[in-house]
Chains A and B, each alone.
Chain A
């Protein structure tokens, strides 16, 4: 049984951004010694996320538009207060809630050394509160 954990940094460049990380994840699978198993991808942050959907710009736009409708900045959030453990204000509740609703991880099977996914499925790293340097984890499990 092989269990391997890779840490991947990504520099986001906008306040909100959907970054296609499918090629990077597939490359890590192919370079690994895992022939049959599972790959799990997870963001390390609570104001970013991971989503799997069709990789086209109109959908990327729809995701952000409807997240903004569901979680408007003007809503009443308890998080808007000084966080003494962080030395700063917590006024980004809506970005945390987008992360919760959209999810923070995804899994795909590995077969014959390749990641198996539907032809339309794209893995997005979702930035909800950028720009920041972020990190996601890719864990490979199998034989």
Chain B
């Protein structure tokens, strides 16, 4: 099983090594939990039954002074364990962003692009951003875009509206777009994009009130019907937890509480992510 949405922002070893790391976690990402040894990350994956986790940085230095992890830090973590799959992030308005992405993929071994318009302070439909989409498309990597509400301080809700991405989705039809957080509260907008465009995927990392199970029961059965997932979008959804904002075990439990078939759950928890990342399924034992 793969968790497509995690942020390595509370790693004790990195706090000891990188002077600005804790300030980034507290002030930019805004999370108050205790720092934890890297071992806790793996144990959190273990208790949730997760084999691999996608690590996401956010290159938001221009807007927020500190990046939420650098590409080098993500690569360093990936070098410590095969259980980590690293994504890169670049500031799409920065000259040379496309080259920086190419370096991150070809030299650092990172396997996707993460963008967060709200934290990085750009507009999703700004044509100046299209250079990095072009580069990602050429590199044949997926791009995971923050959509919906962001908890990070100073961010604008409107910068996360999923429909702002439509122009890019249409223009780069070979590029796989993963809309993080299912675009909540615009879950129908995000769902409609996935229904209309085969290059659009949705991740499940949304929790904005109540418990994970309560939230999923409402959003994925009352706000949008569970049958939409089971019948129409089963090949375009990946599991994401948003750890450490939410523990992975609770999000897995919430997903499994939905009335979905085992085959559909397997696609969401494993197969769709494997396909996006070019990972071969393990042969049955």
Binding site for B on A (CB under 8 A): 11-15, 73-74, 77, 80-83, 85-89, 91, 129-133
Contact = CB atoms under 8 A, between A and B. Distances in A.
A89 B207 CA distance: 8
B82 interface: no
A87 B29 contact: yes
Given A89-B246, A133-B34, A133-B37, 15 more contacts: A11-B40, A13-B46, A15-B47, A74-B213, A80-B210, A82-B208, A86-B33, A87-B30, A87-B32, A88-B33, A88-B244, A89-B209, A131-B40, A131-B43, A131-B44
A11 to B, nearest CB: 6
Contacts, number: 70
Contact of A80 (B12, B36, B211, B244): B211
B39 A11 contact: yes
A80 to B, nearest CB: 5
Interface centre among A15, A131, A132 (most CB of B within 10 A): A131
Contacts of A83: 32
A80 B213 CA distance: 11
Given A81-B209, A133-B37, A88 B245 contact: yes
A77 B210 CA distance: 9
B137 to A, nearest CB: 34
B32 A86 contact: yes
Contacts of A86: 31-33
Given A15-B249, A88-B246, A82 B151 contact: yes
Given A11-B40, A15-B47, A87 B31 contact: yes
Question: 8 tightest A-B contacts by CB?
Answer: A131-B43, A87-B30, A91-B211, A87-B31, A86-B32, A88-B245, A80-B210, A80-B211
Contacts of A89: 207-209, 211, 245-246
30 contacts: A12-B43, A13-B46, A15-B47, A73-B211, A74-B213, A80-B209, A80-B210, A80-B211, A86-B31, A86-B33, A87-B30, A87-B32, A88-B32, A88-B244, A88-B246, A89-B211, A89-B246, A91-B207, A91-B210, A91-B211, A91-B246, A130-B43, A130-B47, A131-B40, A131-B46, A131-B47, A132-B34, A133-B34, A133-B36, A133-B37
A85 B151 CA distance: 11
B44 A88 contact: no
A73 B213 CA distance: 9
A85 B249 CA distance: 23
A10 to B, nearest CB: 12
Interface string B39-53: 110011011000000
Contacts of A132: 34, 36, 40
Contacts of B12: 133
Nearest to A11: B39
Nearest to B210: A80
B76 interface: no
A13 B36 CA distance: 13
Contacts of B30: 87
Contacts of B210: 80-81, 91
A21 B46 CA distance: 24
A91 B37 contact: no
B50 to A, nearest CB: 13
A81 B207 CA distance: 10
A69 B208 CA distance: 27
Contacts of B211: 73, 77, 80, 89, 91
Nearest to B47: A15
B37 A14 contact: no
A54 B52 CA distance: 39
Contacts of A81: 209-210
